[in-house]
Structure 1
């Protein structure tokens, strides 16, 4: 086989990610982190009925407990991503992992609404920079033609954590009470942070045993200390429409993360074992959707589509499909149809997730931490308002028809905005002395 033929076949298949590459261990470590992070941020949904009962909370108060996490998560996204770039992913994720592990432990020790709010606030603060910092690690270790795939696979791991949390937490509630899941996962989080620090290096060339071939496959980004200044104006102008689309994605995602166990418990009268299993069945659709979405958009990219068009195609398919599948929920259908509709809607919704996280890597690889933090601010803001508004609507109307109808409207708006946005590459700022020559501002 000639070198040219081999190159063409690699282009069709994509650059290898895991096999015979040091980056394989990086991707696996990140998958584990995403799994743990989403398990420990979403186990509160399954524990929700038990927490509401023990602390005598209303649905709106429980929604506030979910929202306070998102408040700190949203406010510190951009700053957290920027700090992660400054100190590097190795030290950044060590510090963040230890902090979110401690906050998860503290959640298991809460004695009422106030201490629960404090624990969730600390968790939001510590996790705010986690995914932007992880995205910076991916930008350094992943070939550009596999951005969608890697974002898809790590977010599939996060959705697996989300999907398994209801079963695992329900089992632990029956065995030893709702607090145990927070304590065990907090310890696991801190253990992961220590392993990450030992095994990861900020730059591929610093990793023992890495080959010249693998170094040639990934971008040679400068050290954290040598990164050029962030071109804030152009970055904001490019990423803001993506942030708005991410808000719409986040609104609906938070409905799934926060309220499915309560829906199944209150409307369909399922006990903890049954609603834990059914919630997991709903959320497992997202595991498939995330991976398939990333693979599909990268496949289009390798076949000549621009990065912009390949990401947009999956965004449109995902938002339209998610909205259509939510329509039956407005009419409170039988339990089986509810579970099937929710699972399909979540599958389509998660087709969009890899695209939203790949776009910052596509357009601003040097500042992918800051750019992804800027993008993910939309998800964080959605997490502030979605649980509170949905909880208030449920208290007011006595059901979930209005929250699902509102979610469908938001998905329609996301479809329109995703269809017209035009994110493009963001190069470094042009020095003032060169601006007159190049005509750039």
Structure 2
């Protein structure tokens, strides 16, 4: 265990991201029951989803900055604890305003987690392992929706929809305690890391420099085309993913006439495909780089290929008239999007280095602006023009992400500005 303790923490990271997406998908699956009990409309539910993403997006950049300065440990623990409390409180919401407050606060809590975990990956893993580690982080998120629909439906049928939020809220608190105990800020601080493992982790890097507390040179970053490009492409990647997350269960029931029980099974297939592809692609991307391929090929080409295939299969799914074929094509579409996720997060570490928390926070901020827009825009299109139109618009949006990937250029790290007179790196905001 001591020899590979970083992978033990990777499993715990997997559980954190798994729980984060279980907590999100629970609302989507419980939506029909919640709409029935409170007489909420699609627009109401879309607004609750959007309020979550507003809070979530708002904490991306601050979360990255906090994780770089105060380190990942305290930020992850605080974030998981906060969101777990408000997950449990969702069961107590009974009015429209209470739902808005609880879901918005839930979003604020989840916001810092992925930027903080990005700084954990950057410090705890050898540079040749960042694609694989990023895939583990992301696959936890995508396993959540695989098991979420069936597990949530089972709990709803047995104990009612409120039980789902209470159970997962408590589970999140237990995971926060585990991270506090086992995940130190640096591997050299951990009693579970051997000298051999520490030496391997620190190969090819300046560990002392990376352990310094510094703020990212935002003045330099904000003027970079690459910095904007990685944000724009992820806006599209997340926009498509959040259309699935927010509306797939209701879409299958309304547009494809699935029962609640059958929907719980069918809705898991696209997420299973996304998880499998995401897990496979990160390690494959690292092997490409190790074999001498450029990071443009290992990251950008995979991202572009994923968006092209995702768009094609999503369009074909939208026009498919057979429910089984529809689910099959939607599964291929979301699975293809799995090529883009590890590429995006690995590119953040390529571009940002020790400031990967800020870069990933920036990228995830724009991704979750897509999350803010996706639930409401999709609800509006589906309400006024039908589900087919809503899915086709989602498919066409991929073109923007494809173009943006051409400007990411992960082979070229972001410029960090000029050094201060004393030789210390710039820490300007």
With normalisation by structure 2, the TM-score equals 0.93
Answer yes or no: is the 8 Å Cα contact 1:78–1:374 preserved in 2. Answer: yes
How far residue 350 of structure 1 moved from its aligned partner, in angstroms, is 1.4
**Distance across 2 between alignment mates of 1:98 and 1:310:** 36
In structure 1, what is the Cα distance between the partners aligned to 2:227 and 2:196? Answer: 33
Aligned pair 1:30/2:13, yes or no?
yes
Which one is further off, 120-129 or 227-236? 227-236
Task: Write out aligned runs for 1:375-414 (5 A).
Answer: 375-397=363-385, 399-414=386-401
Separation in 1, partners of 2:47, 2:209: 40
CA 1:333–1:106: 2 relative to 1, 3 Å? same
Matching residue of 1:342: 330
Distance in 1 between residues matched to 2:364 and 2:126, nearest whole Å: 22
The answer on 1:47 being equivalent to 2:30 is: yes
Distance in structure 2 (CA, Å) of the matches to 1:165 and 1:330: 24
**What is the aligned residue count?**
417
Distance 2:10 2:420 in 1: 40
Question: How far 1:74 sits from its partner (Å)?
Answer: 0.9
Q: Tell me which residue corresponds to 1:20.
A: 3
Matches within 5 A, 1:35-434: 35-219=18-202, 220-222=206-208, 226-236=212-222, 237=224, 238-397=226-385, 399-423=386-410, 424-426=412-414, 428-433=416-421
TM-aligned CA distance change 1:225 to 1:335, over 3 Å: same
When residues 432 and 84 of structure 1 are mapped into structure 2, their CA distance, relative to the original with a 3 A threshold, is closer
* Compared CA separation, residues 23 and 148, structure 1 to 2 (3 A): same
Q: Residue 65 of structure 2 contacts residue 215 of structure 2 at CA under 8 Å; is this kept in 1?
A: no
CA contact 1:221–1:366 (8 Å) conserved in 2: no
Q: Report the Cα distance in structure 1 between the residues aligned to 2:61 and 2:112, rounded to whole angstroms.
A: 8
SS at match of 1:305: coil
Classify the secondary structure of the residue corresponding to 1:74.
helix
Q: CA deviation at 1:171?
A: 0.6
Does the 8 A contact of 2:69 with 2:215 survive in 1? no
Q: Name stretches of at least 5 consecutive residues in structure 2 with no aligned partner.
A: 424-429
Q: Distance in 1 between matches of 2:377 and 2:215?
A: 39
Distance in 2 separating the partners of 1:319 and 1:104:
32
Q: 1-side partners of 2:139 and 2:46: how far apart? A: 25
**For 1:430, what is the secondary structure of its paired residue?**
coil
Q: Which residue of 2 aligns with 1:15?
A: none
Q: How far 1:112 sits from its partner (Å)?
A: 2.5
Output the CA distance in 1 between the equivalents of 2:216 and 2:349.
14
What is the alpha-carbon distance in structure 1 between the residues aligned to residue 28 and residue 326 of structure 2? 18
Shift of 1:154: 1.9
Unpaired segments of 5 or more residues in structure 1? 1-17, 436-441
Distance in 2 (alpha carbons) for counterparts of 1:144 and 1:190: 31
- Structure 1 residue 107 displacement after superposition: 0.9
Aligned position for 2:427: none
Output the CA distance in 1 between the equivalents of 2:414 and 2:217. 8
The range that moved more, 230-239 or 286-295, is 230-239
Farther off after superposition, 404-413 or 136-145: 404-413
Q: Which moved more, 1:183-192 or 1:143-152?
A: 143-152
How large is the RMSD of aligned CA atoms in angstroms?
A: 1.8
User: Scaled by the length of structure 1, what TM-score is found?
Assistant: 0.91
Match in the other structure for 2:426: none
The CA deviation at 1:121 is: 0.5
Contact 2:132 2:282 in 1 (8 A): yes
Distance 1:303 1:135, change over 3 A: same
